[in-house]
Structure 1
Amino acid sequence: MFKNPDVLWLNTNPYLLRFNLPIIKYLSRHVNICQWEYSQTEDEGTSLDIAIELLDDYISLLKKPVNLIGHSTCGLLGLLYAQKYPEKVKSLTILGVGINPSLDWLSYYYLLRTNLYFSKERILSRLANILFGYHNYYYQKAFIGLLEKALLYSLSPHSLYKRFNLSIEKISSPLMICGSENDQIVSWEEITKWKNYLKPQDILWQCPEGEHFFHYFQPSLVSENIINFLMSQVNTQPQLKEKELIINN
C-alpha cells in the first residue's frame, strides 16, 4: 500500500541499508517515515543525476514537501535534490557530510589505494577500523566482506582514477548538519566549516562518539536531536505511523 510520509530517509547502497534501521525504528515512534532506496547493478554507471530524477518521481507522488534525511553519499543526494527542487523539500538533515559534500568513505578508500602499497583486503581492514571502530578479528572479517560488496553498488562519484570535489551552494530549506566528534572520514573540523552557509533556523549538531556511522551506534541520541529539529520548523507536525520501505530501481 502506498503511504504518504512526512519524513523520507535516503539510502543509495543495499549493503549499507542495515546501518539505517535502528535510527529509523526510533524515528518511526514519533514521525511518519519511509525509506527510499536507490539500487543499481554493479555494471551500471554511477549517475547522481539519474538518482535525483528517480527521487523526484517518488516525491512528486506525495504532492507535498517532505523532510529529507541522508547520511554520507545519501546526504549528498539530498543536498543536490534540495538545490534543484527547493519547493519540494520541507527540511534537509544530512549526517557525516562536510564542507566538501562529495567527501565520503569511498573517496577515503581510493585515497588509501592510491597512496599505500597494501593489498585490497588490508586496506579494507584498515577502513573497517576507521568506519566502525571494531578491532575484533571476526567483526573485521565480516566488515571487510560487507565493504567489498558495498564498493560495487555505491552511488559515490569517486573512482580509483578520479576523485571529485563539489562546491557548496546555499539551500533555501531549513538545514540540519550532524557530525561525530571522532569521525575520521569527515572530521568535525570539516563539519564546522558549514557555519558560513547556515541560515538562522539551521542547526549544526555534534554527536560525542560513534565514528562515521554514528547514527547506527547512537540511534536514540541522534534521533532525539533530529526530532527536535523537525518539531522546530514552522508548520511541521509529523504524525506517528509505522515506517515502510520504499524501493526505486
Structure 2
Amino acid sequence: MSEKPLLHISDLAVNLGGRAVLRDINLDISPGELLCVIGPNGAGKTTLIRAIMGLLPLAAGKIELQGGVGYVPQRQDADWSYPISVEQVVLTSLKPRFLATAAQWRKVYQALEKVQLLDLRQRNIGELSGGQKQRVLIARALVSQPELLLLDEPFTGLDHPNQDLLAELCQQLKAAGISILMSTHDLAQAAEIADRMLILNRRVRALAPLAELTDPQLWAESYGVDINSPLVRMMSALIEKPTAVESRAEFRAGSGKEQK
C-alpha cells in the first residue's frame, strides 16, 4: 500500500476579484518531499500557497492536509522596523497567553538552533541581514514543529552565500522528515534541491522531476518566451548536465557528516 500523501489537492480553483487565478490544480506531496513551484510573475504561485494555508476562499476543489503546516511569507511582507528581538518574533508563533512557559522557550531555542541563529536570539530584528531575516521567519514557522513547510519566494533578494545557506537548510529539514513546498523564481537553486518541480501558470503545466522536463517547448510556453530564449537554454543545460548538481549535493552531504 502506498504512503498517504501529506498534502492532497484536487480540482482546485481560486478566483480573485472575479478573475480566475488558479484552475484545475491537482497535486500530492509525500512525507519528506521537497517540491518547488516555479512559473512566471502572476502565475499564481503565492495564491496557491495562501490557499493551502486557508487564507483565500476556494472557488472549487478541496485541500486535504495530514499534519501541521508552517508558513513563511515573503520577507518584504514583514515589518522589520518593529522593536522586537529575534526570539520574541519566533515566540509569537506559539501565542503564549501571558508569560511564555519554559517548554515554549525550549521550542523557540530549538527552532533558532536549526536555522543557526541561537547566538543572535536577543538581537533586534531591524539589525539583521537579509539572510538572517529569512531564517528568523523560517524559525518562526518551525517552532510549532510542522510536518509541511510552505516557503514563498525565500531566495528573493539574497546574495549567493545566503542562497546557498538557505538551500542547505532546506536539505537538512527534508532529511529530518519535513516536507517543503517552495515557490521560487530562482530556477538554478530549484534545480539543485527539488525532488520535483511544478511548473505553474494559472494551471499545472507540468509536475515531475527536472530530469523528465526535457521539452523546450514546455518551458517556452509556460513562461511565455521564445524557444531560443536564455531561460529555455539555461533549463536545457541544467537538465542535460545534472552531474554538477549531483556532485554539489554529495559534497554537502559529505560536509555535514564531517562536521558531526
Same fold flag (TM > 0.5): no
TM-score (norm 1): 0.28
- If asked which structure has higher relative contact order (CA below 8 Å, sep 6+), I would say 1
Structure that is richer in strand per residue: 2
Instruction: Find the structure with the greater CA-based Rg.
Output: 2
